[in-house]
Structure 1
Amino acid sequence: MEPLVAPALILLAVVAGVTLAIRAIGRRKAARIAEPARPAPTPAELARTAAAKLSEEEHRRLYALIAQGQAMAAIKLYYEVSGEGLRASRDAVGALAAHPQPYRTPAADPAAPDDDDDEPQRFPYRYRAIASKGDVTREVSSNMLNDEIYGRIRTLARSGDTEAAANALTRHSDITLKQAREFIELLDD
């Protein structure tokens, strides 16, 4: 009888361990089901949240990199500045590129509408935008353009909305609509 006691105790311990493991897994599943799932933020909300984490200089540098098409450098900059993970930084930069956000001082209301497209503001410097394809090069120089606005114009052009891009370029510079269309054609790849 004694030789069977040790294997019986081992078998009893294994059964008890398996039973406890099954109960723990069941509790986790029940807790996960009971917990309401938070909806993922929309890209526009993600862009607003990401822009709020940047200082004015970081915001300017990030949009300059996006406007120059240097996505990896923009992700690296956001990664270093925000302290978020690499995947979150990639998503944030993608959202910022797709939904450009103006810099807002920390006291600014994030729900305020974006009115800078309606009435262009004049900057104390002249911004030069250059586009070329083959032997053709066009340049637009204006004190109503900056990295952020030009980035929006490039995004519109790349998404296929060339007419809106040309209208935005005309609104933020002193060129005609025909000249703006020629410039946008060179951006469209």
Structure 2
Amino acid sequence: MESLVIPVIILVVVAAGVAVAARAFSRRQSSAMEAGSVPPPDPVELARNAAAKLTEDQHRRLYALIAQGQAMAAIKLYYESTGDGLRAARDAVAALAAHPQPYRSPAPDVVEVEADDDAPQRFPYRYRAIASKGDVTREVSSNMLNDEIYGRIRTLARSGDTEAAANALIRHSDITLKQAREFIALLDE
């Protein structure tokens, strides 16, 4: 019987320690909730709010960086553009990448009338065009592309008018002429 006394005492001490630690942890959580800690914001709402802080040019450049996989550069651009903290910039860019937002001008009363049917139009989604040949793959992601526009660009490329196809791709995305020519070169066959 004496041999069981010491293990029982150790077991009681460990159980008491776990109970005290659990109680301290629950008190810390409840005091944090009472102090006004808010649950993390909805990522879609975070993306909307983040997009609203950007100008049209900043919005376009940020999504170009996201599409090119340059997360650090996108975070830096957002950080410098908005003045938000680094962690807030990281969270905003992650939300914008996961939930793409179209650019909304600050004055919604102004309606732009487009004179040209082929003038770039912004869609509420990002369109991804992928071209590959062999082991070379290029991707263009833009909210100014859709199936119809990309179809016209492919038709131009396949008919041999690569310059017109590259220029059309530039008008409907945020890539350089060199990148557009590389992409079109993978399309013409």
TM-score range, shorter chain: 0.3 to 0.5
